[in-house]
Structure 1
Amino acid sequence: MRGPGRGHVGRRVVAIANPLPTETSRGAHDAFIAADVGGTHVRIGLVRGSGDAGTPVHVLEYRKYACAEHAGLGDIVQDFLAHLSLDHGRVTRGVIASAGYALEDGTVITNNLPWRLSLADLRTRLGFDDVRLVNDFEAVAHAAAQVDASQVLQLTGPAIAPARGPTLILGPGTGLGAAVWIPVGARAVVLATEAGQAALTAGNALEMALLAEMLKTRTHVPVEHALSGPGLLNLHAALCAVRGAAPSGYTHPGQVTAAALSGEDPLARESLDVFCGLLGSVVGDMALLYGVQGGVYLAGGILPRIRDFLINSSFVARFLNKGTMREALERIPVKLVEHGQLGVVGAAKWYLEQQQED
C-alpha cells in the first residue's frame, strides 16, 4: 500500500522515547522489535507488553531511519540494536509492519520498497527466534482508535461515533494505505486492503481532464497515483499539462507543498487543493463501501504537514458530497491522527495478540 536504498551512506536517526526499566521475566513482557517499514522511512522501536489493557504496549526506545541511506532492513535493525541506550537483554523476536503481500517463502512483494524484504533472511541474519509480518495499515488500525484525544484533530462529524461499528484507517504516504477495524464481540478483526490500487475516479471537469492526462501514459490509474507523496507530483505534472504551463521541475512532493503553502506557485497551490478534494471524495467512497460507523482516522503520511491547508480545503465538502448518503456520512467522525509511533505501537499490539492466540 505504501512504501523507497542503496548502500549504507550514513545513519540518520531521531530518538524520541524515554527508556523504561526492563523486566527480567521471560514471555509476553520480554522486549522485542517492532518496525513500521514505509517507502521513505523505517520507524523502529524496542517494545514490550505492559499487561495493561488500556496501554498494552510500552515503547522502550524508538528511532526513525531514512530508507535510502541503508542497504536493507537488516542493516537498519542491526544498527538500531547496536545503539540502544540501555541493556535490555538479548532481543530474539520482532514484528514488521509493511505494505504488500507475503509469499510462502516469507518474501514480501510490494510496490514501494527500495530493497527486497525477506522475513527468512532477516531471521537468519539477526539470529531471531521469531519474526512476523503484518500489513502496515492493519498495524495502524490496531493502534489508531486508542490514541489520546490530544493527538487527533477533528475534521468533521461528532466527537464520538453514535454507533460501534467498522472504523476506517487511511493515509497517503509513499503510497496510499487503508485498513478497516471491525469490532466482533469483545475483540476486533482488521481487514487489510489494497485500496490504493483501486481505480481513481473523477468528481468534476478538472479532475476528469487530469485523469485523461494520466491515462495517456498508463492504462490503469490507481488511487495512490494521485493520493500519495509521489501522487502529488503526478497531479502537479498533469495540471501543468492541462493548463499549458511548462513543467515545474519539482522532484519531491515537499517542494510542491512548500510552494503551495508559501503562495509562490499558483499551480502548486491548485495541485494541493485538487489533492485534498480527491482525498475527501475517496474517503467518503470508502466509508460507504466498508459500512463505516465507528469513524475515520487519517493517519501519518503527508497530511500533518498540510494540516491547516487540509482544514480549509474542500476535503469535508467532498467527503459529504454523496447524494442521499450525506446524512449518514455526517454521523461519522473524521479525525487526523498525529502520532508518529502509531505503526510501531500497532504492530506490537498485533504481535502480542497473535502470541495470545498461539
Structure 2
Amino acid sequence: MQSPFDTDLHLPFPILIGDIGGTNARFAILKDAYGDPRPFPIVQTADFPTIEDAIQRTVLDKTSIQPRSTILAIAGPINGDDIPLTNCPWVVRPRQMIADLNMSDVLVINDFEAQGLAVGSLADEHREPIGSATGETLASRVVLGPGTGLGVAGLVHAQHKWLPVPGEGGHIDVGPRTPRDYAIWPFLTPVNDPGAAIGRISAEELLSGRGVMNIYRAVCGAEGQSELFTQPAEVTSAGLAGTNAIAAETLSLFTTYLGRVAGDLALVFMAKGGVYLAGGISQKIVPALKKPEFRTAFEDKAPHSALMRAIPTYVVTHPLAALAGLAAYAQTPARFGLETEGRHWRG
C-alpha cells in the first residue's frame, strides 16, 4: 500500500509551480531538477476569470516550455475535485487542468505548507535574524505570516525529513495581560459565532492587516482620540517614523502580541530550530521587530523563559518564498514528508 506521504513522488519535468492567494498569483517553471525556477510576472487574480485562463495567458503563451505537471499552493481548504479559494472567485479543478492544459499530474497543497517547505530549505541570506539566539539547525520550526489573515504552519523534523503541518493556528485566542491591554481590550470587536453570547479575540484579529487597524482604533478609543488613519500601511509607516504617538504605540503593541503568539507556537511545536515570520507585513516592520518588545514577549513564558531565550526568530526575506519551497520539494521530494492523499491527481 502506497504511503499517503509519497516521499518518493517525482513529478515529471518541466513543472509549473504556483502560489495562489486571494489577491495575487505567482507562477514559475522548473525546467529540470537542477536549475533555478523561472518566475513570471505577478498576476492579479481579479484580472482573469479562471486559473486556467491566467496560466494560459501569462505563462504558457509567454514561453515555449510546456509543463508536464504542476504543484499549486492555495489559500483555501482542499477537499474534493473542486477547490474554491477563500478570498478569490477562482476554483481550482485539477482534472479540468489536466485536460485543458495537457498535463499528466496536478498536486495541490495549502499555501502555508509551501511556506513551511521554504523554511526547511532557506539559505541564510533569505532570513533576517531577530535577536541573538542561533538554535539547532535541524530541529523543528514554526512559520507564521501576518498578512490578509494570519497563516500558521509547523515544520517537524523527524526521520531525516521535514514534515510540514498546516493548520488554522491564526484563530487561537489571545487575551489581555498588562494594564494597557485591559484598557484597550474593551474597544476591540470580538469574533462571534451565530448564537454565541460572548465573543473572543483571535490572533488573526490582531496580527493581520485588519489587526493593525483593530489595535489602532482600540488605542484611539482608549485615549479618546479621533482616528487619523484608514489603512494599515499608514499606521505602520507613521509608527516606524515616530510621527504619530498612537501609531507608534499600535506598532509596539502589534510586535508585542506577535511575540506572544510566536512564543506560544514555539512551545507547541518545541521549535528549537526557530520561528520564522513570513509575509509582507513582517518584512516591512523589521526595524520595529528588532526593538526589545518582540523578543521580550516571545521569551516571557515562565517557567520556560530559559528555553525560549535559546530559540531563534527570523523574518523571511525571500521575495518568492512559497515558490522557493515548492521548487525545493519538486526537485528533492525525498527531503520532505508531504501528505499527498486526496491532493494529487493523475491524468
| TM-score, length basis structure 2 | 0.83
Contact 1:257 1:272 in 2 (8 A): yes
Q: Where does residue 128 of structure 2 map in the other structure? A: 153
Structure 2 residue matching 1:233: 3-state secondary structure:
helix
Contact 1:47 1:61 in 2 (8 A): no
Cα offset, 1:224, TM superposition: 1.0
Contact 1:42 1:65 in 2 (8 A): yes
The correspondence for 2:24, drawn from 36, 41, 45, is: 41
Contact 1:276 1:310 in 2 (8 A): yes
Q: Deviations over 1:255-275 (max 9, x none)?
A: 222222233322112111111
Structure 1 residue matching 2:304: 3-state secondary structure:
helix
Q: Where does residue 39 of structure 2 map in the other structure? A: 61
Equivalence map 1:5-24=2 (5 Å): none
> Structure 2: which amino acid aligns with 1:277?
T
CA 1:119–1:203 in structure 2 vs 1: closer, same or farther (change >3 Å)? farther
Q: Deviations over 1:1-40 (max 9, x none)?
A: xxxxxxxxxxxxxxxxxxxxxxxxxx75622221112233
Q: Where does residue 141 of structure 1 map in the other structure? A: 116
Q: Where does residue 105 of structure 2 map in the other structure? A: 130
Equivalence map 1:264-343=2 (5 Å): 264-343=243-322
> Structure 2: which amino acid aligns with 1:139?
A
Structure 1 residue matching 2:310: 3-state secondary structure:
coil
Equivalence map 1:185-264=2 (5 Å): 185-215=159-189, 218=192, 219-250=199-230, 252-264=231-243
Counterparts of 2:235 and 2:47, CA distance in 1: 23
The correspondence for 1:99, drawn from 55, 75, 88, is: 75
Cα offset, 1:136, TM superposition: 1.2
CA 1:245–1:125 in structure 2 vs 1: closer, same or farther (change >3 Å)? farther
Count how many residue pairs are aligned between Structure 1 and Structure 2.
Answer: 321
The correspondence for 1:173, drawn from 147, 164, 173, is: 147
Counterparts of 1:211 and 1:78, CA distance in 2: 48
Contact 1:102 1:109 in 2 (8 A): no
Structure 2 residue matching 1:104: 3-state secondary structure:
coil
Counterparts of 2:103 and 2:33, CA distance in 1: 22
CA 1:212–1:77 in structure 2 vs 1: closer, same or farther (change >3 Å)? farther
| Unmatched 5+ stretches in structure 2 | 1-9, 193-198
Contact 1:170 1:297 in 2 (8 A): yes
Structure 2 residue matching 1:174: 3-state secondary structure:
coil
Equivalence map 1:102-117=2 (5 Å): 102-108=78-84, 110=86, 113-117=87-91
Q: Deviations over 1:218-249 (max 9, x none)?
A: 42332111101221122212222222122335
Cα offset, 1:93, TM superposition: 2.1
Counterparts of 2:301 and 2:248, CA distance in 1: 25
Q: Deviations over 1:123-147 (max 9, x none)?
A: 5554443322111111111122322
Counterparts of 1:79 and 1:263, CA distance in 2: 44
| Unmatched 5+ stretches in structure 1 | 1-26, 52-56
Cα offset, 1:201, TM superposition: 2.4
Cα offset, 1:203, TM superposition: 2.8
Q: Which moved more, 1:320-329 or 1:137-146?
A: 137-146
CA 1:348–1:260 in structure 2 vs 1: closer, same or farther (change >3 Å)? same
Structure 2 residue matching 1:201: 3-state secondary structure:
coil
Q: Where does residue 56 of structure 2 map in the other structure? A: 78
Cα offset, 1:150, TM superposition: 1.8
Q: Where does residue 87 of structure 1 map in the other structure? A: 64
> Structure 1: which amino acid aligns with 2:56?
Q
Cα offset, 1:69, TM superposition: 4.1
Structure 2 residue matching 1:103: 3-state secondary structure:
coil
Q: Deviations over 1:302-347 (max 9, x none)?
A: 1111111221251011001111211001111111110012101212
CA 1:268–1:72 in structure 2 vs 1: closer, same or farther (change >3 Å)? farther
Say if 2:162 is the partner of 1:183.
no
Higher relative CO (Cα under 8 Å, sequence separation at least 6) belongs to 2
CA RMSD of aligned residues (A): 2.7
Identity fraction in percent: 25
> Structure 2: which amino acid aligns with 1:245?
Q
CA 1:262–1:71 in structure 2 vs 1: closer, same or farther (change >3 Å)? farther
Contact 2:15 2:29 in 1 (8 A): yes
Q: Where does residue 5 of structure 2 map in the other structure? A: none
| TM-score, length basis structure 1 | 0.80
Q: Where does residue 3 of structure 2 map in the other structure? A: none
